[in-house]
Amino acid sequence: MTSERPRFRLGFLTHVQGRDHDIARTYRNAQELFAVADELGFDVGWVAQHHVSLEGGGLSSPWAFLAHAAARTTRIRLGTAVTVLPLEDPVRLAEDIATVDALSGGRVEIGVGSGSSALEYAAFGKDAGRKRELTSENLDVLRRALAHDEVGAPGFRIQPRPGDFGRRVWQGVFSAQGAEYAARRGSNLLLNRAAYGFDAPTDEVQRPWADAFLAAWDQPHRPRIGLSRFVFPAKDRRTALRAIGDDVHRAALRMAESGAFPKGLGADEALRRFHAFYGHPDDIVAALGREKVLPVATDLITQFNPAVPDHDAAVRALELIATEVAPALGWKPARPDEPASVEPAPAPASASASASASAGVLR
């Protein structure tokens, strides 16, 4: 154990949306974000899976997308946040994951979750009422397949032979009970950019979930917590609002129709509900300094969704995150010839067992 402060990992997440319905251009732009992030030193690039089309796009086949991203990048890690696991054949999914991992030189992270769309479940002939059970069942099979154990039939093991995925599986959760379950299964924790159905600020809602995860962790290796947050830096607050404000407000009003948010939200309340950090980088750094889950996170995963900024604005925001926001929080980019780390840096030597588990903190 070292006494040095740990280096947290910086990621970005795209839901692969565009301003128009030219899906080819939307996909090209999203691939370009991976290339830009790779050059800027981001540690991980994540994509979300959506079978139901989003406005201006959405990605139903994340592993095909990530295979292409692997060819365009050299060091950034490639992950899903999340793959909707109950709608997948876990053996076939394991084959796709292992293939992309081989193509990328071992750079894959696999995040899974149960999803939320009843329409998606109906389209795949699955019972949405069993989504937790299906997630658990499929995760068991997926883990065995990625461990190169027999699955499906005696003597059958997937190919290509997978690398070591023992520390590269993540679960998205929406409760303290879900966080405890993920810890008991040895999965890393993924926390969403917003907590739906709560009036309290997202970080106040999610901090007990992170604490429950850390308290339940009993694996020999350090736990990891990936904290997704809406982060959009720009020249100033007004410039940021021009790029994201209307999109966020419309998204909040749509979510109010399903009961996730109260009806009749104004623009400011919509931004609060999405726990948005936006404006000048200095203002974002100050706001993130008050974020309650951040001190126990090992991975900060920035995203712009539900906003769909123009491509140039998105690229500029990534640049500001990597050059001004994250460094002010203590992040340092990996060297160009240094692969992005699978593990966060060791915790301080003085930490106790449970504190050491949570010591991949952002400084």
Domain extents for the chain?
9-357
Contact 103, 65 (CB under 8 A): no
pLDDT of 343: 65
Dist CA 86 CA 275 (whole Å): 28
Distance of CA 30 to the CA centre of its chain: 15
Dist CA 257 CA 142 (whole Å): 35
* Residues contacting residue 354 through CB under 8 Å, at least 6 positions apart: 214, 215
pLDDT tens for each residue of the chain, 363 residues long: 333 445 699 999 999 999 888 999 999 999 999 999 999 999 999 999 999 998 888 999 999 999 999 999 999 999 999 999 999 999 999 999 999 999 999 999 999 999 989 999 999 999 999 999 999 999 999 999 999 999 999 999 999 999 999 999 999 999 999 999 999 999 999 999 999 999 999 999 999 999 999 999 999 999 999 999 999 999 999 999 999 999 999 999 999 998 999 999 999 999 999 999 999 999 999 999 999 999 999 999 999 999 999 999 999 999 999 999 999 999 998 776 666 766 654 433 322 333 333 333 343
pLDDT of 116: 87
Cβ count within 10 A of residue 330: 13
Q: Which CATH superfamily is domain 9-357 in?
A: Luciferase-like domain (3.20.20.30)
* Residues contacting residue 234 through CB under 8 Å, at least 6 positions apart: 240, 243, 278, 279, 280, 313, 316, 317, 320
Question: Does the model's pTM come out above 0.85?
Answer: yes
pLDDT of 57: 86
pLDDT of 124: 97
Dist CA 175 CA 268 (whole Å): 26
pLDDT of 41: 96
